[in-house]
Structure 1
Amino acid sequence: MKNLKKYIVALAALATIWSSCKRDDKINIIEGTPSPYIANLDLRRIYRGSDVTLTKEATREAIYLRGQVISDHSAGNLPQGLLFVQNAKNLGGSVDSLRGIAINIGAAAANYIPGDSIHVNIEGGVLKRVNGILQITGLTAAKIEKKASGVNLRVVQVSTSNLKSNPERFESCLALIYNCNFEPNIGIETVEGVKIFNEGSGDMQMNVSSNANFKNEFLPYSAIIKGLIIPSSSGVQQIYPRFKADFTPTSLTVDPNIPLGPNPVIITGFFADPTSTDANFEYIQLMATQDLDFRQKNFSLITTNNAGASTPTGFPVNGWVTGDLRTYKFNITRGTVAKGTFFYVGGNKVINGNGSTDISNANWVVSKQYANLDGDDGIGTKTSNLLANTGNAGGIAVFATTNVNLNTIPSDVVFYAGGGSLFGDGVGYAICDNDRYKRYNGAVFQPFYGQGTNTTSNKVGANPGVNSFSCLGGVYDATAKKWVGSLRVDKPVLTPKTLADIEGRADVTKVIN
């Protein structure tokens, strides 16, 4: 009887809830109360290539947009009359719904500053593209109510690769771009105009207006740029620094007359098997043993994958430049790196595969979609597995030149995992003198891995584990120009989540003296 009473009470409650909701028989759903607010994510979806008048019908009863102002017109470098606002929609999970929008309110746009929280009555406005920029037109400042000021703003990190793959995601948002490498006429060329820069994964554009009060600043070799992502009239997304402080030069001045030591760059770690797919998510961590400017002195990095399916099979006739699926080359021709600091070469700028933490704030000198593009100088066919994790030997070599052949001596080299067709018939992968390999055993010349005492037992570790960054450690004496102390060895960092996990450990590689 008690159970029967419980069921009756439950059914009665359910009937009450059901009857309180209005049912739309045409689409067989239960309607709730529509929100009077619309997020930029949904607002941008309304636009399908032609002008949209923002009526309640078009916006599903929403008449307000609320968000934070990110524009600042005080320095004269943003499109006049446009107020830029960004907001996010709570979608739960890890979905990033932050989006921006421009609102054309004329000269009144200059009355708002970054961090102002506002509500905008958008009813009657028109959503359209003007000079390439998606914006709401037909509104006045009377439609805007300021609710607060000094709100902390979210800033999205942008690279060429993610901007190209999803330009709509970043348009009219406040963005930050690291490792912006220019090709300026130093001391003469200024920031004014549209300037091309490369941040490791491709070319992007910075726009500084002739009205900007910082237009006469000299253009450096490299910088960190914060600003708004705004499309040109042709649709090319550009970053607009809002004021002088948004543009931070980071160039390192390197005396080109200082000669390179025997090991100007050393290998400090690598990620061979990140979560999700390996394609475009593997990378190599390196360190400079002296200040370097890669424009002055070009370098290259080459990986080798000796899995059974990697072609050409047999001994590597051309060593590190064998190409196809055996070796893959990255040329390093931009960027600077200070002595004793880390830098990176590889795919996407995330720490552990798709969906993991963005680490574009690290010093990436090359970020290349190697699964979609062949290696530099024709060395290497596009591959989804840059660093071997099949059990056969994988290797990494960095060279103080882009002109590499069978006998070119690397700046540094490491191998891991097992064997394979590595050395024979007088050909193989060239090594250098470092903590693990020697080009001479007494008077006996042994310049290749697998030759003489350079056996596969001198690898830095076994086949790397899944989701495990290989931290190599070791100490390099820059004055003595040699490794000191213990040999480098793979010390796995399981599932790293932040840059500090792979750069801030006590046992990372160090350069002394």
Structure 2
Amino acid sequence: MRKILNKHILIIGAFVVALAACKRDSDYMIVTPSPFISNLDLKKLYKGADVTLTKELTREAISVQGQVTSDHSGHNLPEGLLFIQNLRQVSSGIDSLRGIAINVGAAAANYVPGDSVQIKIEGGVLRRVNGILQITGVSATDIVKVKSGVKLLYMPVSAITLLAKPDNFEGCLVKINNCNFEPNIGVETLEGVKTLNEGSGDMQMHVNATANFKNELLPYSANVTGLLIPSSTGGVPQIWPRIKEDFEATSIVVDPSIPLGPHPAIITGYLADPTSTDGNYEYIQFMATQDLDFRQKNFSVYTTNNAGTSTPTGFPLAGWNTGDLRTYKFVITRGTVAKGKFFYVGGYKQINGIGSRDISQTNWVVSKLYASNGGDDGIGTKTSNLLGNSGNPAGIAIFPFTNVELKSVPSDVIFYGGAGGSMYGNGVGYSICSNDFYNLKDGNTDQPFFRQGKNTAILQLPGINAFSYLGGVYDAKAKKWITKRAHNSVALGTTSPLTLIEEPLENKPAMTKLIN
């Protein structure tokens, strides 16, 4: 009986499947291909040779649409090129933002940033001319202005991100924050190709001889907005400011005759355990207690990770210079910081790990991929865990010089974590300074190292996805702490704003405050 029943069930099932297969034409959704192609998809068509844009290649698209980013009123852009950018419509992420140049002749000057346009490109040719990827064969009559006053998108860029994916930025409106220039500051003009560095590496800025702002003097540092355009020879990515207002000087003038105090820079916070992976996403926040120009006086920052697997084992024979996986060194040679302002040292300029908000608008004096590169001056092996989060102590120190020796006194130093590890013994250890946690002397007895004598203070281990901030009040005139620091934390997400780690929080202990 069961076999007969199973047989009938199989027959009925087959009949249902057959009926389902006999659908009417009206049961299907009719999809009309979009007449527009995104810049992201358009640029994928270029493989190094000229491409004639046909419907077959563009999947029936005949036009592009986007926001105009070029501004020819400053006379610094390649003549005849209209730059537009757009997001891929099926994507919600800024990563799909791409720019393209369209050669429309003199008509390019008729459009301004914020115009929304639709441009017929069918029959045009995608090619590189003088190093610039562009669409040729388009006339002024192929352009339709749809709207004006559209809010412009821009991509923050650093040397690290640019060198990793230069094609993503070409033709886009970009911004480089707190970039520093060398040499002849205040003497040399903007005209020409200038080298700049925003803390992660060198990039180039291009200002033509025709630019109406070419005679502006080169400042030490600036925020630069512009179009990312390859050079005509070599294809080197360059930022081209469009108008004078694209170049915003940010540097301060620091009197080199003013001596540094005992604590010219203090440690105010750190991210030791970001979301996803730690490597290249940890960072340290500092505050200047007086105006600083790191070109005049180089500083150095050290971290120490004393996890059980960190080598060399045993007491740190060379102190902060022990190196390998125990200590890592950054040298600061560029940038200015005004008294009472924050500055940062670390990896990628992101708030909380992979895919999180870009915070390059703040002052990064060093941005280095430490998981891929060894420390400066040969101190430290590349590491995926710059700021330790094991049961043993980890530490941070900043020195107002770069030639650090065993007993050199830092500008500031803190330790956090557990009570284990080989930190001090046989006359060697990590040097400290007299601050709100440690003292170089206990009465008349010298105690220049952490864990020597009464220098045992240690902050708690940071939490996951939490920025550690230390609070406290420092008197810049008296050059001492009048309210001791303590570990506090604020939870971070991938979209957390910069203000969350730089501005006082409601119902939270105050962040570090500088007085006098």
- TM-score (structure 2 length as normaliser): 0.93
Match of 1:510 in 2: 513
SS of the residue corresponding to residue 161 of structure 1 reads helix
Structure-2 residue corresponding to 1:219: 218
For residues 100-179 of structure 1, what are the structure 2 equivalents within 5 Å?
100-179=99-178
Shift of 1:110: 1.1
Aligned to 1:15: 23
In 2, distance between residues paired with 1:120 and 1:92?
21
The AA in structure 2 aligned to 1:175 is V
User: After superposition, what is the alpha-carbon deviation per residue over 1:411-448, rounded to whole angstroms, capped at 9, x for unaligned?
Assistant: 00000001311000000000000000001000110000
Q: Report the alpha carbon displacement of residue 186 of structure 1 after superposing the two structures with TM.
A: 2.7
Answering whether residue 421 of structure 2 is matched by residue 420 of structure 1, we say yes
CA–CA separation in structure 2 for the residues paired with 1:333 and 1:248 = 21
- 2:490 aligned residue (484, 489, 493): 493
Aligned mate of 1:468, from 430, 446, 466: 466
Work out whether residues 38 and 65 of structure 1, in 8 Å CA contact, stay in contact via their aligned partners in 2: yes
Native 8 Å contact 1:91 1:97 kept in 2: no
The residue correspondences of 1:74-473 to structure 2 (distance < 5 A) are 74-94=73-93, 96-233=95-232, 234-418=234-418, 419-455=420-456, 458-461=457-460, 463-473=461-471
AA partner of residue 427 (structure 1) = V
Contact 1:299–1:333 at 8 Å: present in 2 too? Answer: yes
Change in CA separation of 1:220 and 1:282 when aligned onto 2, cut-off 3 Å = same
> Which residue of the partner structure matches residue 482 of structure 2?
484
Q: Note if contact 2:87-2:94 (Cα within 8 Å) is conserved in structure 1.
A: no
Give the SS at the match of 2:317.
Answer: coil
Q: Which amino acid aligns with 2:489?
A: P
Query: Could you tell me how far 1:492 is from its partner in structure 2?
Result: 1.4
Question: Bigger shift: 409-418 or 11-20?
Answer: 11-20
Q: 1:460, CA displacement in angstroms?
A: 2.1
CA shift at 1:488, angstroms?
1.4
Aligned residues of 2:52 and 2:123 also touching (Cα < 8 A): yes
For 1:83 and 1:230, locate their aligned partners in 2 and report how far apart those are by CA, in whole Å.
13
Task: Report percent identity of matched pairs.
Answer: 65
CA drift at 1:94:
3.8
Which residue identity does 1:90 align to in structure 2? Answer: Q
CA offset at residue 17 of structure 1? 6.5
Shift of 1:18: 6.6
1:54-65 correspondence runs (5 A):
54-65=53-64
Query: Is the counterpart of residue 52 in structure 1 residue 51 in structure 2?
Result: yes
Q: CA deviation at 1:58?
A: 1.1
Separation in 1 of the partners of 2:512 and 2:221? 26
1:460–1:472 Cα contact (<8 Å) kept: no
Moved beyond 6 Å, runs of 4+: 11-14
Deviations 1:263-311, CA, capped at 9 Å, x for gaps? 0000000111100111100000000000110111110000000011111
Shift, 1:93, TM fit = 4.8
1:130 positional shift: 1.1
CA distance in 1, matches of 2:440, 2:54: 76
Q: Distance in 1 between matches of 2:22 and 2:40?
A: 34
Which runs of no fewer than 5 residues in structure 1 stay unpaired? 1-7, 22-30
* Of 144-153 and 318-327, the range deviating more from structure 2: 144-153
- For 1:226 and 1:238, locate their aligned partners in 2 and report how far apart those are by CA, in whole Å: 11
Contact 2:228–2:237, Cα closer than 8 Å, also in 1: yes
Q: What secondary structure does 1:15 align onto? A: coil
Structure 1 pair 14/159, CA: closer, same or farther in 2 (3 Å)?
farther
Moved more, 499-508 or 11-20: 11-20
CA–CA distance in 1 between the matches of 2:377 and 2:437?
Answer: 29
Deviations 1:176-212 (A, max 9, x none): 1101100131332011100001001100100000110
Report the number of matched residues: 493
Contact map agreement 1:460 1:488 (CA 8 A) in 2: no
| SS of match in other structure, 2:345 | strand
Counterpart secondary structure, 1:96? helix
Go from structure 1 to structure 2 and tell me whether the alpha carbon gap of 1:137 and 1:93 turns closer, same or farther (over 3 Å shift): closer
**Contact residue 173 and residue 228 of structure 1 kept, 8 A:** yes
291-300 vs 11-20, which moves further: 11-20
Q: Name which of structure 1's ranges 93-102 and 228-237 shifts more when overlaid on structure 2.
A: 93-102
The aligned residue for residue 6 of structure 2 is none
Q: How far did 1:12 drift?
A: 8.3
Does the CA contact (< 8 Å) of 1:214 and 1:244 recur in 2?
yes
**Maintained 8 Å contact 2:186/2:220:** no
Q: 1:95 to 1:111 in 2, by over 3 A?
A: closer
User: Cα distance, 1:32 vs. partner?
Assistant: 2.9
Secondary structure at 1:286 match in 2: strand
User: Which residue identity lines up with residue 508 of structure 1 in the other structure?
Assistant: M
1:489–1:18 distance in 2 versus 1, CA, 3 Å: farther
Q: Give the distance between the partners of 1:206 and 1:92, measured in 2 at CA.
A: 31
Task: Give 3-state SS (helix, strand or coil) of 2:23's partner.
Answer: helix
The code of the aligned residue for 2:90 comes to L
Corresponding residue for residue 67 of structure 2: 68
How far the C-alpha of 1:34 sits from its partner, in A, is 1.0
Question: What do the CA deviations read for 1:208-261 (whole angstroms, capped 9, x no partner)?
Answer: 001101101000100000000111121211100001000011110011111110
Deviation at 1:63, TM superposition (A): 0.2
